[in-house]
Amino acid sequence: MELIVALSIGVLAGSGVWLLLRPRSFQVIIGLSLLSYAVNLFIFSMGRLKSGAPPVLADGAELASYADPVPQALVLTAIVIGFAMTALFLVVLLAARGLTGTDHVDGRER
How much is the pTM? 0.77
66: helix, coil or strand? Answer: coil
pLDDT (tens digit, 9 = 90+) per residue, 12-32?
999 999 999 998 888 999 999
Q: In sequence order, what are the residues at sequence separation of 6 or more whose Cβ sits closer than 8 angstroms to the Cβ of residue 27?
A: 19
Q: What is the mean pLDDT of the chain?
A: 84
Whether 75 is covered by a domain: the verdict is yes
Measured CA to CA, the distance from residue 93 to residue 32 in angstroms comes to 14
Q: Which pLDDT belongs to residue 63?
A: 67
Whether 90 is covered by a domain: the verdict is yes
Whether 44 is covered by a domain: the verdict is yes
Q: Which pLDDT belongs to residue 85?
A: 92
User: CATH no. for residue 42?
Assistant: 1.10.287
Count of domains forming the chain: 1
- Residue 24's domain comprises 2-49+67-100
**What contacts 24+ positions apart, CB below 8 Å, involve 68-74?**
71/43, 71/44, 71/45, 71/46, 71/47, 72/44, 72/47, 74/43
